[in-house]
Amino acid sequence: MTNQRTSRQTPRPCPTQSSPPRLLRAKDLWDSSGSTTILGAGQWLEVDDIGRRLSALVDAGALLRLRRGIYINPASWLQTAPWDRHLIAAAAVALPVPHTHFCRTTALAMHGFNLLRPPDAVTVRTARNDATGLHPAPPLTGRASAAAVERLLRAQSEAHDGGPRSRAALSSIGTRHHQYPRAFRDQLRGGLGQRWTQAYESALIHQEFPVPEGFDPSITAGMRIRLEPLGLVLADTVPRMSFAEAVAVLDACRAGRFGAPAEPGGTLPAVEPWLRLVASARGRTRWAAAWEFADAGAESVGESWARVRIAELGFAAPELQRSILLPDGSTCRTDFYWEGPGVVGEFDGLKKYLRSGMLSGSSPGQVVVAEKHREDGLRALGLKVVRFTWADLTDPIRLQRLLSATGIPLSGRSTGADVFYRDNRRAGRSRKPR
C-alpha cells in the first residue's frame, strides 16, 4: 500500500441497514494511507480532498451535516425520533468542544426527562454577553437542490416503513447560548464571578453522554459531558416554560422519576436552594403554581398535557389511576376517572401501546384487542368511556366537545395556569384556550 494521497484502494462494503446509527467525524474518516473512507450514496468511496468531497456528498443528499466536521447518515437521522435528534445534535456540539456546559431544556433531556415538545435548540452556557442567543446550525442538506431533497425523502420512505417523510425532519437544530444566572456573576456583563466559579464547577455533573436508544455507543467515543445539577436545571428552567411544559416536568418530579423524588411535605429539597438563588419573585410564583398543580399520578407527558387541557377548559379535575374491578374479575387502572358522572377518560398515545406490549410480551395488535375488551368491561359497569389523542389535545374545541358530551361537570375554580396566562398576556404571547 502506498502512502500517497492520490492512491486508490479497493472499495469497502457498505454497512448494512441493521448497523446501529452513528455519527461520522471528518477527522475520523482518514485512514492510515492519508485518504479517507466515508459513507457515500450506497457505497464506500476513497477520496483525497475530504472537504470538497464531503460537501459534495451533503449537497447530493448522501450525508447530513450536523455541525462543521460532524456528519450523519440520512437514514439514521430520519429514522430517529424528534426528541432523540435533539440529543444527537447535542452530541455534535460536544464532540469538538468537550468542556461545554449543558443547561436548561437540553440538560433536562440529559437528566432523562421526557419533554412535552422536542427542544428547538441545544442549550449551553456562555460567559460572553455578546455570544448569547440562537446560533443557527448549518443546513443539514447543505446546498442540495429541492429536487435532491425530495429524492432523499422519497428514497427513505420507500426503503423503510413507507410512511411520509416531512421536510421538517431535515430542519437543522441550532445552539442557544445562555449567560450564567445573574446571581453567579459579579458583574452584569461578566461571566462566572470569582467567588462562584468553584461552587458552580464543583456542582457540575460529569457523566457519559446519554446515547439515544438504538444508536451506536461509539458515536461519542466515551465522551464525558458537563451537566448542570438537576436542582439548578429545574429552578432555572421550569419558571420559563409554558404551564403545560412545566407541569409535565413536575409531574415526573412528584412521582420520583429521574432522580427527583419529592418529600412527603411536597417539596423538592434539591431545588429549594437554587430556586431562592436564581429565580425572580415572578419565577418563584410561576414555579409554585405549576408545583401545586403537579400530580404524581400522571404517568406520561401526554397525560400531563391532558390534565392541563382539562383544567384550562374549566372541567372538574379527574382522579388519576383509579383501580376498577371489571365483571370478569380482573382489575384495570384508568388514566382519568370522574366518579360523579361515571366517566372514564383514556389518553391514547403510541407509547402507551408500545409500553403495554413490552410489559406484557404482547404485540401492538394484541394490546389493542385487550384494550377493547377492557373498555367493554367498563361499559358493562355502566361507565362511559371517552378517549382522546394528541390530535385532540392540540384542538381544545374538539376536546371540549368530547368531554362535554359525557356530562363531565365544570369546576368553577381557577387553576395555577392563570398565573402563567397573566404573564403571557403581559408579554404578548398566546392566551388561554377558550
**Mean pLDDT for back-to-back runs of 10 residues, the chain (434 residues):** 36 42 59 36 46 85 89 87 91 89 96 93 93 95 91 80 72 95 76 78 88 70 85 94 96 80 60 84 92 94 96 95 94 95 88 44 62 90 95 95 95 70 57 48
Q: In what order do the strands lie in the sheet with 101-102?
A: 133-135, 174-179, 121-126, 101-102, 224-227, 205-208
pTM, whole model, 2 decimals? Answer: 0.82
Instruction: Extract the C-alpha cell encoding 427.
Output: 408579554
pLDDT at site 393: 95
Q: Which residues pair with 334 in a beta bridge?
A: 322
The predicted pLDDT at position 363 comes to 59
Output the pLDDT for position 15: 38
Q: Which of 177, 64, 194 is nearest to 127 (CA)?
A: 177
| The predicted structure's pLDDT at residue 344 | 97
Q: Determine the Cα angle at 141 with ends 139 and 146, to 5°.
A: 110
Whole-number pLDDT of residue 260? 54
- The pLDDT assigned to 369 comes to 72
* Residue 2 pLDDT: 37
Confidence at residue 347, expressed as pLDDT on a 0 to 100 scale: 94
What pLDDT, on the 0 to 100 scale, is given for residue 356? 42
